[in-house]
Structure 1
Amino acid sequence: MATADRPKARQSQLVTTYGVGALFPAGDQSFMICGIDQWDDRWSPTVEEPRLARSLGVHTFRSPASGKRTGDVPVVRFPTYHYCPGCRRLDRYWMFDPRKMQCQNCVRDLTPSRFVACCENGHIEDFPYFQWIHRGSELPAGPHEMTLESQGASSSLADIVVRCSCGAPPHNLDGSFGRSALSDIKKCGGKRPWLPDAPDELCEKPLRTLQRGSSNVWFGAVRSSISIPPWSSPSAQFVTKYWAVLEHLPETALVQALPGMIAGRTGLAIDSVVDVVRQRRGLDTSLQPSDKDLRDEEYRALLDGNDGGPLDTFQCVTVDVDVRVRALVAQVSRANRLREVRALHGFSRVTPMPTDTSNPRLARLSESHLNWLPATEILGEGIFVRLDESAVSEWEEQSLAEERHELLARSMQRRSTESGAPGVAAPSARFVAIHSLAHALLQELSLDAGYPIGSLRERIYAEEGQAGLLIYTASSDAAGSLGGLAALADEQRFADSLIAALSRAGWCSNDPVCSESGPSGTDGLNLAACHACLLLPETSCEHRNIFLDRVALVGDIDSMTGGLVSDSW
């Protein structure tokens, strides 16, 4: 493939949207990103974040290769079934002209199959067209040349017909998306096309038909962490960069070697570097902190703040809280500098799985365990808000909070029963309310700061004893570096933004339907939330736009009572 024809993606997309095992659309072609054991790591810059690396059981991270002079991220062509839009012939792409990806007879560009077959263990293969058309009948002898035709009457599956030259009765694709539609004709073969050299796995999960471009073909398991003191300081950055050398130096030799190593570097002192080396040596590398452990450390760091120097990647300063919002808000902090690292450590298909590293159903990124994972780093700014703990605790004890939580718990139980997936506890009422507040506030801050809403992101801290949210720039491109978001933490400006956000949340253009509807959205995991009020772009919500409820925030639509903020104004 010529260089100009190669598909292109941003570095961040190759971790979050088009990671390993995902299908990447490139014009009229479709590719799958290969496993990291196929990557040429000489062209993948190192991304260091010791806390996150320990939690994922690796030594370091690497960002995908970028730039015209560096190596490419390897891909394979998938699905392998293609058809000619001229003669409608359906076959593996190598049975046509694989060099030009054209039909030899029609000289037309090939179109990849719209459908694939996946299982919940992350395996994926071509839709079994051959088995579909020959089901329920003996396989006739002779050549089998298939065609894929559209009747043109509608865009439904019933108007897409598969035919075979052997004389088997034609079959349309109606019913092919049923939960057990493929159970009797094709078992999961354990295919892992993103690992070209890996053998197939044994798998007992049923195959499900999905559209090639649907969102449930790939759910990335991404874990992120914000760099916090002491690991955000210039000294820690220096130690991380040269850790392979510093790790093995005795302290006496370390003190002797450092003057030459740090000469000409600003913001570094021998004592501070030695302190960081001691702290890093004291880490128990056998322990893998969970995502909750990382969040707890971040929450404490955001509460304490950090002035830092000009080179520190974590600068967070507490500002005054306007008297108009003190009934709800206990602390507002201006985060002038933040560094976030996002790492991909697995993925799932069909239904999203818990992203815990011990989950055996997450598909692996490489055939063998490597000491690194793909990651991307983002430098930005943000606003941290801590709510008044007593106000949140009192609200949790009210009947409305308990009723809304029970509705959500029943939806999660129903999803578990229908999908056969292990049951997961419903998030707390505290989490749902703070999450909903974050969505409302993020939309308002986007308007005030001038950022595209997709370039802002939330981070929720709602464990027991926590009641905080962080809104920060989440884009690594130009839209994430405009500046001005942290300035909105100013006492009066933040209060104006929060009051406006809650005023907007009090009424949705889809009310009363929105506020009075039962469980809605993905698997019924939202309550009062729709695209006209709380839903955000996928890049902005770390929980895939679920666990939202505007009523929990502003109260019953008729009386405007019982919500977290109902009694705060």
Structure 2
Amino acid sequence: MTANPKARRTQLLSTYGIGGLFPSETTSFMIAGLDEWKAESPLVSEPRLARSLRVSQLKSPPAGTNRDVPVIRFPEVQICPSCRKIGKIINLSRDWNIAKCAKCEAKPDLTPFRLVVICRKGHIKDFPFFEWLHKGSPGAGPDHEMRLKTLGKTSSLADLVLECICGVQPKSLDGATNLKALAPFGKCSGARPWLGPEYGQDCAEIPQAVQRGASNVWFPAVRSAISIPPHSEAVAKFVLKNWSFFEDPEAVNPKLLENLASKPGAKFTVEGLAAEIDRQRGEDSGAELDEEALRRQEFEALLAGFEDDGKSSDFVCLPQDLDADLPQSVTAVRKVTRLREVRAIYGFSRLDGTTEQSSDALCSLSHSQKNWLPAIEVIGEGVFVAFDRDELRNWADRPFAQTRRALLQEAAQRRAKEFGRDEAPLVDIVKVALHTLSHVLIDQFSLDAGYPAAALRERLFVDENMAGVLIYTASSDSAGSLGGVASQADSERFSGALREGLTRLSWCSADPVCIEATGSGVDALNLAACHACVLVPETSCELNNVFLDRALLFGTPVSDHESEGLFSDYLK
């Protein structure tokens, strides 16, 4: 069954993607799997990202006409706001496509039930409202017609009471969302409605009831890449788009290349076109390319820089002089006047938000293997800052940094144990420090350039051999092309912004509570970080606002550690 709710392309990757719930007026839908999508959607050229996700193509989600993306109605359990009857839509409406109560004269619109049932393997089904009321209640009659009454005292689940004409004792929904509340009703059903009723799985998990609109119902697994030379060049995108014509070497002849190069608006020469065809033909598409490799390539391209050569490149990165007032740890600043980011969704999870492709908690977008994934592109600009990795390593080895790392590592291990994982990933304290600094820059650039913080985004480049931060525009509207963010890379302007941002956020209105915190945020994965200082909009942060610690930048007033921060000497 399909319907016509409206969503932007970006929402189909970030907010209402496959397997997620889409609210539409008084009802709710679930986006169906890729098997039901239109495969003739426009191509999005980014071969590096496609290789890393083990597909051959990336395509833009269809949009613009009715019924572009198929949906199913979910949850099936509905409530009539007039007579308060509760049941499957087919029983209340007698028509899957019309969500109106057929048993009321006014035929009011039905509303979806408030709870759904999910498990850590990504399965989802309707809340077992009948079993919740009737299980363990002997003496009930054979006839059943249920209602959901509201006491009208509060908005809590305890205020919602299930009743049945069979005579069973009424029961509220209080406690329905407790961790083991559904254990008496058996193991998970293994339902995957976004793929179809026939594609369920065996599952031994104990399911959990959650609010239908809760944030843990759907976590997208999204990977992104920045277009860098030579992939960012117009000729590279042209060859990739028309690869079916160039794949056969015998079909490529001088006359064909001359005709293509002489077309009005062509931005390449015969020699350039031939060289690009040879490069793409010789590229080893079978080689592994993971997230770390993508970042290393982008870090090198940002460091190297790339000037506008008039050939419509999607990557222009200009080296800037370093102001004498900058910290010694800053080794390079780049003005990125044009960049293109491509984001692709490759799965989703529920409850724990995993993004690991090998995890059994990551749900598939289709029941059959596809050679493409949905993707969007964003054109913007930004500022890139590189740091001396050796100096950061020496700082990270100091007792103060190691003590902070131990606190975060302990919190990460507690979280891993809670989610049933064997071990937690190692905390890189340098990455935590640079992550916190990037939030400082987002906050400062928002003030200086006049951009909303939600329009800015961070990209971290941190491993044993590299250390850098890219702050860039993340929205696809006109704010991404005005040049306001890139202009912050100018020598004196960046130096002033860095010093002002660090000075301003060295104090928080929640201090001393904030700066002395030994655990805050989700699962205590932050230390000195709160909404009054370095937390930013969720869309701006790569790590969902965790692994932040303002004390790493400025030190703490406890035990004479004020001089132990990464920038303590810089701010004296």
**Cα distance in 2 between the residues matched to 1:244 and 1:186:** 52
Report the Cα offset of residue 255 of structure 1: 3.6
Aligned partners of 1:131 and 1:186 also within 8 Å: no
Q: Deviations over 1:411-467 (max 9, x none)?
A: 111112222134221330000000000011011101111112111100001111211
Label 1:384 to 1:189 Cα distance change in 2 as closer, same or farther (>3 A).
same
Partner of 1:331: 332
TM-score for the superposition, normalised by structure 2: 0.95
Partner of 1:83: 79
Aligned partners of 2:2 and 2:71 also within 8 Å: no
Label 1:511 to 1:243 Cα distance change in 2 as closer, same or farther (>3 A).
same
RMSD: 1.9
TM-score for the superposition, normalised by structure 1: 0.95
Aligned partners of 1:56 and 1:288 also within 8 Å: no
Aligned partners of 1:505 and 1:554 also within 8 Å: no
Structure 1 segment 391-406 matched on structure 2, within 5 A: 391-406=391-406
Q: State the one-letter code of the partner of 2:10.
A: S
**Cα distance in 1 between the residues matched to 2:454 and 2:460:** 17
Q: State the one-letter code of the partner of 1:554.
A: F
Report the Cα offset of residue 197 of structure 1: 5.6
**Cα distance in 2 between the residues matched to 1:133 and 1:247:** 63
Partner of 1:568: 570
Question: Equivalent residue of 2:249, what SS?
Answer: coil
Report the Cα offset of residue 141 of structure 1: 4.6
Question: Equivalent residue of 2:8, what SS?
Answer: coil
Question: Equivalent residue of 1:131, what SS?
Answer: helix
Question: Equivalent residue of 2:325, what SS?
Answer: helix
Aligned partners of 1:233 and 1:308 also within 8 Å: no
Q: Deviations over 1:132-155 (max 9, x none)?
A: 112223484522222112222222
Partner of 1:137: 137
Partner of 1:229: 229
Report the Cα offset of residue 546 of structure 1: 0.9
Residue 22 of structure 1 is aligned with which of 20, 23, 27? 20
**Cα distance in 2 between the residues matched to 1:469 and 1:9:** 32
Label 1:92 to 1:337 Cα distance change in 2 as closer, same or farther (>3 A).
same
Report the Cα offset of residue 391 of structure 1: 3.0
Question: Equivalent residue of 1:365, what SS?
Answer: coil
Report the Cα offset of residue 537 of structure 1: 1.1
**Cα distance in 1 between the residues matched to 2:52 and 2:163:** 52
Aligned partners of 1:90 and 1:148 also within 8 Å: yes
Partner of 1:343: 344
Q: Check if 1:314 corresponds to 2:311.
A: no
Structure 1 segment 527-566 matched on structure 2, within 5 A: 527-557=527-557, 560-566=562-568
**Cα distance in 2 between the residues matched to 1:75 and 1:253:** 43
Q: Check if 1:47 corresponds to 2:44.
A: yes
Q: Deviations over 1:67-121 (max 9, x none)?
A: 24x6521111111111112221111122223444222315322111111100111
Report the Cα offset of residue 349 of structure 1: 0.1
Aligned partners of 2:58 and 2:372 also within 8 Å: yes
Identity of aligned residues (%): 45
Q: Deviations over 1:457-511 (max 9, x none)?
A: 0000111121100011111123433331111110011111111110122011111
Report the Cα offset of residue 343 of structure 1: 0.3
Q: State the one-letter code of the partner of 1:486.
A: A
Q: Deviations over 1:42-71 (max 9, x none)?
A: 3x2111111111111111111111224x65
Label 1:255 to 1:526 Cα distance change in 2 as closer, same or farther (>3 A).
farther
Partner of 1:299: 299
Report the Cα offset of residue 297 of structure 1: 0.7
Q: State the one-letter code of the partner of 1:324.
A: D
Report the Cα offset of residue 35 of structure 1: 0.6
- The answer to which of 388-397 and 205-214 deviates more is 388-397
Q: State the one-letter code of the partner of 1:510.
A: A
Report the Cα offset of residue 25 of structure 1: 1.3
- The answer to which of 383-392 and 206-215 deviates more is 383-392
Aligned partners of 1:198 and 1:367 also within 8 Å: no
Q: Deviations over 1:15-64 (max 9, x none)?
A: 1221111111122221111111101223x211111111111111111111
Aligned partners of 2:337 and 2:483 also within 8 Å: no
Partner of 1:257: 256
Structure 1 stretches of 5 or more lacking a match? Answer: none
Aligned partners of 1:48 and 1:240 also within 8 Å: yes
Q: Deviations over 1:160-205 (max 9, x none)?
A: 2112222222221222112111111142111111112642111111
Label 1:557 to 1:278 Cα distance change in 2 as closer, same or farther (>3 A).
farther
Label 1:197 to 1:247 Cα distance change in 2 as closer, same or farther (>3 A).
farther
**Cα distance in 1 between the residues matched to 2:344 and 2:107:** 43
**Cα distance in 1 between the residues matched to 2:11 and 2:168:** 44
**Cα distance in 2 between the residues matched to 1:535 and 1:428:** 19
Structure 2 stretches of 5 or more lacking a match? Answer: none
Q: State the one-letter code of the partner of 1:96.
A: L
**Cα distance in 1 between the residues matched to 2:38 and 2:533:** 45
Question: Equivalent residue of 1:47, what SS?
Answer: coil
**Cα distance in 1 between the residues matched to 2:565 and 2:139:** 64
Aligned partners of 2:460 and 2:470 also within 8 Å: yes
Aligned partners of 2:99 and 2:110 also within 8 Å: yes
